[in-house]
Amino acid sequence: MNIIETRNLTKTFTSRTRGKGAARTVEAVKGVNMIVRDGEIFGFLGPNGAGKSTTMRMLATLLVPTSGQATVGGHDLLREPSRVRERIGYVGQSGGTESSLTGRENLMLQARLYGLSAAEARQRTTELMETLELASFGDRLVKTFSGGQRRRLDLAMGMVHQPALLFLDEPTTGLDPQSRVHLWAEVRKLRSAGTTIFITTHYLDEADALCDRLAIIDHGTIVTEGTLDSLKRAIGGDVIALGLDVQNGSVKRAQDLLLAQPYVRNAREADGGISLVVEGGESALPSVLRLLDGAEMPIRTVSMARPSLDDVFLHHTGRTLREAAE
Ligand SMILES: Nc1ncnc2c1ncn2[C@@H]1O[C@H](COP(=O)(O)OP(=O)(O)OP(=O)(O)O)[C@@H](O)[C@H]1O
Ligand SMILES: [Mg+2]
C-alpha cells in the first residue's frame, strides 16, 4: 500500500518585503507527484530552498496547499486533516521541545496533549526513553543537552502517539558524525518496528546510507524518484575522474576532445580536472588515456567508479548538489 500519494501538489507564497510595497510571489512547490510506500524510509533530497520543508509541512497538515491533492495514511489531506493527524508524527527542522523543561517532562507534556491519561503518559515516556536511549540524560533540562541528544529527544517527541508515519525534517543537520550515525540507527529501528519514515536531507551520504527510496527535488519540482539502485543504474555507464595539469585552457581543450568520442556521454569540468560519464568504463579508460597522451595533455590522476548519488543529481539538474548549495 502507499501511505502517501500526491497529485500536482502546489504551494505558492505571497509575501511582502518589509518596508517595500510590492508583493512577491514564490512558487515553492510546483505540482509534486509522488508516492511513499508503507514501511519504507523515503528520502527527500534537495538543496536549500528546493521546497522540501514546504512539501512536508503540507503533507503534515501544517500548511494548506495552493492546489493539488494528496492522501496520507489512507485519508484525504484536505477533507480529513484530523484523521491524517492521528496517523502521523512530525519533527520540524528546528525541533519542538521546551528547553526549560527536562526531556522526560517534555515527553509527558506531549503525551498528555495527545490525550493519553497520566498513567499511560508515564508508561509511554519511560518506554521511549528506553528505546531511544535517553535514560542517562533525559531527566536533565533540555537546555543542557548536546545537539545529538536534543535531536534524539525530538525523535521521541514525534513518536509519542505511535504514528504509522513519521516526518523528519533534516534531523541530522548540524550534528557531529557520531551522533548522525547514532540517529540513523534509531531511524532504522523505527522502520523495523513498522513505522514509515519520510525524511528530508541535503546530505548525499545520508540519503545513500539510510533511504530505501528517494525523490530528488529542485526548484519545487521532483526531477526523479526511485530506489537508490535504480536511480544510479538509470544513468548507465561509469564515471571517470581525470586530474589534469591545469594551464591555459587545457581543461576546456581536453573536454572538447573527449566529448567528440562516441563512448563519452558527458564530460564536465570538476576540481581542476574532468569528470566523464562513459559507456563501458573498462575499455573506455585506455582509450581516454591514449587520446589525452597523444594530444600532449598530461594526466596527474585517474579514478573510475560506478555513478554516485551526486552523479544522479548532476544528471537530472545539470549541477552538483554542492554547486546547487552555492
Ligand atoms: N512562509 C513563507 N513565505 C514566503 N516564502 C516562503 C515561505 N516558506 C518558504 N518560502 C520559500 O519557499 C521556498 C522553499 O522553501 P522550503 O523551506 O520548502 O525549502 P527547503 O527545501 O526546505 O530548504 P532548506 O534545505 O533550506 O530547509 C524558498 O524559496 C523559501 O524562501
Ligand atoms: Mg527545509
Domains of the chain listed by start with CATH number: 2-229 (3.40.50.300), 237-306 (3.30.70.260)
Give distance in angstroms: CA of 251 to centre of ligand 1: 37
Average pLDDT over residues 33-52: 96
Residue minimizing CA distance to atom 26 of ligand 1: 48
Q: Closest-lying ligand to the alpha carbon of 92?
A: 2
Which atom of ligand 1 is nearest the CA belonging to 202? 25
How much is the mean pLDDT over the chain? 91
Q: Tell me phi and psi for residue 278, to 5 degrees.
A: -125, 160
Give distance in angstroms: CA of 243 to centre of ligand 1: 37
Give the model's confidence band at 20: pLDDT under 50 very low, under 70 low, under 90 confident, else very high: low
Give distance in angstroms: CA of 302 to centre of ligand 2: 37
Q: For position 314, what pLDDT does the model report? A: 87
Give distance in angstroms: CA of 12 to centre of ligand 2: 16
Q: Is 280 left (phi over 0), alpha (psi -120 to 50) or beta?
A: left
CA angle centred on 165, ends 207 and 221, rounded to 5°: 50
Q: For position 12, what pLDDT does the model report? A: 97
Task: Determine how β-strand 213-218 pairs with β-strand 41-45.
Answer: parallel
Residues having C-beta closer than 5 Å to ion ligand 2: 52-53
Burial class of residue 182 in the structure, from the number of CB atoms within 10 Å of its CB (0-12 exposed, 13-18 middle, 19+ buried): middle
Q: Closest-lying ligand to the alpha carbon of 28?
A: 1
Give distance in angstroms: CA of 50 to centre of ligand 1: 7
How far, in Å, are 256, 261, 282, 284, 299 from residue 289 at the CA level?
15, 13, 12, 9, 8
Q: For a substitution probing ligand 1, which of 9, 10, 11, 13 has the most ligand atoms within 8 Å of its CB?
A: 13
Q: Is the pLDDT of residue 323 over 90?
A: no
Q: Is the pLDDT of residue 23 over 90?
A: no
Handedness of CA 4, 317, 313, 167 (dihedral sign): negative
**Which amino acid is located at 113 in the chain?**
L
Task: Give the containing element (helix H, strand E) for 19.
Answer: none
pLDDT digits (tens, 9 = 90+) for 119-154: 999 999 999 998 888 999 999 999 999 988 999 999
Give the model's confidence band at 297: pLDDT under 50 very low, under 70 low, under 90 confident, else very high: confident
Coil vs helix vs strand at 176: coil
Q: For a substitution probing ligand 1, which of 52, 91, 198, 200 has the most ligand atoms within 8 Å of its CB?
A: 52
pTM for the model stands at 0.86
89: Cβ contacts below 8 Å, ≥ 6 apart = 157, 158, 159, 160, 161, 163, 165, 166, 167
Which residues line ligand 1 at a C-beta cut-off of 6 Å?
Answer: 13, 15, 26, 28, 46, 48-54, 93, 202
Residue minimizing CA distance to atom 12 of ligand 1: 28
